[in-house]
Amino acid sequence: MTQLIGLTAGLLTTIAFLPQVIKTWKMRSAKDLSLSTFSLFFVGVALWLVYGVISNDLPIILTNVFTLILAGILLFFKLKFK
């Protein structure tokens, strides 16, 4: 049960950024998004990935690879669309 809650939590906080990627792509606008937020978040998720690799923890690696890709796309959109 505890593990199921953890897995659901990880799944939700990972896929959460997909609708933002789709919305920003469609609107071609990232004016309201904070550059600091997505920069800090990108570096933080990258460090979670490093942590997962060092700890050899597959769930941490998998969720953070996916989140890193989404966060990277959002950071790129922010710089591109302003």
Other CB atoms within 10 Å distance of the CB of residue 10: 17
Q: How far apart are CA 56 and CA 80, in angstroms?
A: 35
Residues 6+ apart with CB under 8 A from 16: none
Of the two residues 10 and 72, which places its CB atom closer to a second copy in the complex?
10
Minimum gap (Å) between residue 20 Cβ and a second copy: 4
CB of 57 to a second copy, least distance (A): 10
75 is a contact residue toward a second copy (CB under 8 A): no
Q: In terms of CB distance, is 40 or 79 closer to a second copy? A: 40
